[in-house]
Structure formats: C-alpha cells, structure tokens
Structure 1
Amino acid sequence: MNGIDLLSEFVVTGSLCGLRIDSPVGDVDRVMQGDYIDAVDGGGLVMRRDYGLMEFGFNSDSEFGWVLKGCGIQLHRLPYSPDLLEELRNDMGIDFQPYTTWGELSQGVSHRGGGSLEVSDQDTFLKYRMPSTKVSVIVNNVKEERDDYVGYGDVWAVHLG
C-alpha cells in the first residue's frame, strides 16, 4: 500500500490500519510492527506510545484496560529519517515518500468519496478537518523550500481525535 492510500483511507474512515477510537491496546499490538516507546503520565491514566512515524494515545479504562483515544502520523519526521521509510516498507508494507503534498492527499480523499473538510488557518499551518471522522490534516503554510523539513503545502501530520 502506498502512503497516499493509507492517509486518504484514514481521513475518510477515521480508521488507521483498522484501529479506531476505543480500540484496546492489544489491537494496536497486533497491527503495529517494530519498536516503540511508552510514556505513562504520573497518575497512570494516560499513555502515549510512539512508533517513530505513528503515535497512539490511550486512556486507562477500569473495564477494558488501555483504550485508544487518539492517534497520528507524524509525516514531518520522514524527510530527515530515511530509516523510518525503510522500516515502514519492511515491517508494514507501506510505501511512503519523504514528502506528501496536500494536493496529493486531497485528491486521494476526494477519490474515496470524502465529504467536505473544515479549514482553519493557524498561521504557520492550515488545518483541514473531516468532522464526520474527527481526523485533521495539518499542512505547512510557511513559504519555504523543502530540505530536512517539509515545505510549503506539504502535510505535517494527520491526527485522529
């Protein structure tokens, strides 16, 4: 699968590789491959799990244990981390490019029948949100060239929650 297909599906369905809000941590363990870092807050009620490109946020639930409350794909990490690109290909069969433009992603969302997106200007970023799925696409709005950093019109991150 290529990165645009994964991202488009995420925006339109609110599901990342089959994972949705309230998925148990065991489902994340079954879907995700590779190493990760867990960080639990002092009270033990919130956990963040970082796989490098993908991050997952969990809340502790007395009945179900850790349940997913949000997740995201940190695309801004790809230009300076070619190892992440290789890991995604090898571990999950997902082929991302170092940069993803909003134009490419917008077209993918449209082809999947995605509805209208709410747009807000956050100065250095534009935020495109699909209200029905609670997925937001954060796009770089600073007029700069690409290098080890995403350029103007490139997707910074895609978040659910």
Structure 2
Amino acid sequence: AMALSAYFRESIKVGLIMGGGDMIAQFGIEKKSFNEWNYARTARFGALGLVVVGPALRKWYMTLDGMVAKKQPTLQRGFKKMFIDQTLFAPPFTLALSFIIPYMNGDETDKIISRIKEDYFTIMKGGYMLWPLAQIVNFTLVPLQYQVLYVQIIALAWNSFLSMMLNK
C-alpha cells in the first residue's frame, strides 16, 4: 500500500506539473488570452502526466537504478545512468508521447505520423540540449525518491516546448 501511494502521489505531482507546462505554453509562448485558453488541452496534458508519464518515470528510475552497479564513483554511475536513460528510454518514450498527445487532441493518425516525421528529430535535438546535463545532476546529486520530482521541475520548461511542438 505504501509503494502504491508513493506512485499515486508522484503521478499527481507529474500531472499537475505537466498541466502547468501546457499553461505556460498557451499563455507564455502562444500568447493566448485567458478567454482563448484551451483548458481541455491542459486537462489532457495533465491527465497524460497522471496516467502515463508519472507511473512510467517512477518505474523507469527504479529499474535504471537497479541496472547500474552501485559500487563505483558517483559521477561515473551518474554518467552511465544518463547514457542508458538518453539512449534506451528517451527516444521511444518521446516517440510514444509524440503520438499519444496529438491523438488525445483528436488528430488523424496519418496527420500525426507525418508530423512525427517532420518534428521528431527537432524534439529529440531539443531534448539532447537539456536532458543529458539535467540527468547527470539528477543521477549524481538527487536521492532516488526525489528524482521524478526533480525531473518534473526541469520538465516545466521541457513540457512547455513539447506542448508547443505537439499541439501545433
């Protein structure tokens, strides 16, 4: 029950932070007025955090922590975890979100696929400018139980970018 409640608490935080990222995208980047706010889009983005991203990240960080031997220098271990994260997890996870988000917004499948072909590498390039350094900090300085929260705080900026790219 304790583990489940930790998952649930984490997922609620991720949902709220992702919703916040969409609001930053709409008000800050897309310069929408309050009357133009697409609150359904914000709710969908937040729900995705609650149901998919929060649980997936928690499971991934626990798995990743077990994949990399603990008896080695902290920085070396952090680099290994970052490398595995950015090669094995980030590309398919970003690809999945690149499909799920427009799909949740009601876009046609063929339109989504053509947009993925157009934008996926731009999104990944943006990610690689942010995440490797952020993850080295995460995996070397942040205790495991706070890693998802740390990532979500960094992700406020990332989610704004992602929301802007995927809600075009």
Q: TM-score range by the shorter chain?
A: under 0.3
Identify the structure with bigger relative contact order (alpha carbons < 8 Å, sequence gap 6+). 2
TM-score w.r.t. length of structure 1: 0.24
TM-score w.r.t. length of structure 2: 0.24
